[in-house]
Amino acid sequence: MKLDRDANEKGIALEQANDEEHAVADRDEENQLPSRTRLHLLKKRLQSVHQRLGELIFVGMIGILVGITGIAAYKNVATKGWGADAAAWAQATGSIIAIAGAAWLARSESRQARRWRREQGEEAAWSVRFVLVQAQFDAHIIAFELTRPDEPYCALDIRSWQQRSANASLTLQTMLTRVDHIHAAVVLTMCNAKILVDHLSLDLARMERAIEQEKKPSSQLVSDIVAAHLNLTMLIEQYDARLRGIREALDRGRDMLPLGEFSGWASQPER
């Protein structure tokens, strides 16, 4: 028995030491984060504390009201018996509980609806990113095959490139018909990507006509075709940066855009 007790004490001490090490490691890792990230995490924690504090205040107020009416009903029953006054107080208690439950349910449903819309929007934004990356990948293949020094391109290669650009353009056009995008920045990015891909298709058509006329495509035309994948790469980086900003804004607004932060819509003081 003594050996078992000693082993248990050693095991508990070892677990406590491991917990302390993990806590220290988490603090060190958090301290190594960039100042902007640490500030964002701090804001999220403060928002969570503020939300929970509001819920506790709401529950406390309802508890106080229910307690007051319940005590009044009890005193009426104790002194006068179950009469009209006691029934009225009991009915008031039940009404307060029902109203509080309905308000809590409406608040929860509104929060869930906002969360569901955000999840749908983020899922659509992820699909858009896949389409953008695929378009950049196809443009990269076109640029690689066009600039191979040891293997010149032919008319068959150009038709293959046109199919790639047409497929990317059609996919972007299809994604633009969706109405569940999380923000207008997603639509704007897709429009920019489609313009780049359409210009790539036009340049490939110009190259095909030059080949059919047995002319050498100009170096400017080749440069424009090669530059398409670089422009799409920059567009994807811009898209990721915008989506990070949108998600941070949704975090601040509890799954909706914090419109109160927009200074242009702030109410002007009366003169």
Average pLDDT, the chain: 78
Q: Are the CB atoms for 215 and 122 separated by under 8 Å?
A: no
204: Cβ–Cβ under 8 A, 6 or more apart, which residues? 142, 158, 161, 162, 165, 225
pLDDT value of residue 71: 74
One domain, residues 134 and 94: no
Within a domain: residue 78?
yes
Q: List the domain range (segments joined by +) for residue 83.
A: 2-115
One domain, residues 171 and 239: yes
One domain, residues 111 and 127: no
Report the range out of 24-38, 87-101, 118-132, 203-217 with the highest average pLDDT.
Answer: 118-132
DSSP 8-state code for residue 254: T
One domain, residues 93 and 24: yes
One domain, residues 142 and 162: yes
pLDDT bin (cut points 50, 70, 90) of residue 198 is very high
pLDDT value of residue 52: 67
Token code pair at residue 114: 């906002």
One domain, residues 79 and 106: yes
User: How does pLDDT run across 35-55, given as a tens digit for each residue?
Assistant: 655 565 566 666 666 666 666
Total number of domains constituting the chain: 2
Token code pair at residue 139: 């443009």
Looking at the predicted structure, is the pLDDT value of residue 156 above 70? yes
The rounded distance, in Å, linking the Cα atoms of 201 and 33 is 44
User: How does pLDDT run across 1-13, given as a tens digit for each residue?
Assistant: 444 455 455 555 5
Torsion angles phi and psi, residue 83, rounded to 5: -120, -160
Looking at the predicted structure, is the pLDDT value of residue 16 above 80? no
Cα separation of the two ends of the chain = 83
Residue 133 CA, distance from chain mean position: 19
pLDDT bin (cut points 50, 70, 90) of residue 215 is confident
Within a domain: residue 264?
no
One domain, residues 107 and 128: no
Please spell the DSSP secondary structure of 26-63, one letter per residue: HHHHHHTS-HHHHHHHHHHHHHHHHHHHHHHHHHHHHH
- Single pTM value for the model: 0.63
Stated as kind and residue range, the H or E segment containing 86 is: helix 84-146
Q: When comparing pLDDT for 93 and 137, which is higher?
A: 137
Looking at the predicted structure, is the pLDDT value of residue 99 above 60? yes
pLDDT value of residue 21: 53
Last residue of a domain, one of 94, 115, 136: 115
pLDDT value of residue 3: 42
Q: How far is CA 107 from each of CA 44, 49, 94, 233, rounded to the nearest angstrom?
A: 20, 17, 20, 42
pLDDT value of residue 113: 80
pLDDT value of residue 149: 79
Torsion angles phi and psi, residue 221, rounded to 5: -65, -45
Q: Are the CB atoms for 259 and 149 separated by under 8 Å?
A: no
Token code pair at residue 81: 């018996």
Average pLDDT of the segment spanning 142-151: 87
How many residues are there in the chain? 271
User: How does pLDDT run across 238-247, given as a tens digit for each residue?
Assistant: 999 999 999 9
pLDDT value of residue 206: 93
Last residue of a domain, one of 50, 80, 115: 115
pLDDT bin (cut points 50, 70, 90) of residue 190 is very high
One domain, residues 122 and 227: yes
Within a domain: residue 262?
no
Within a domain: residue 196?
yes
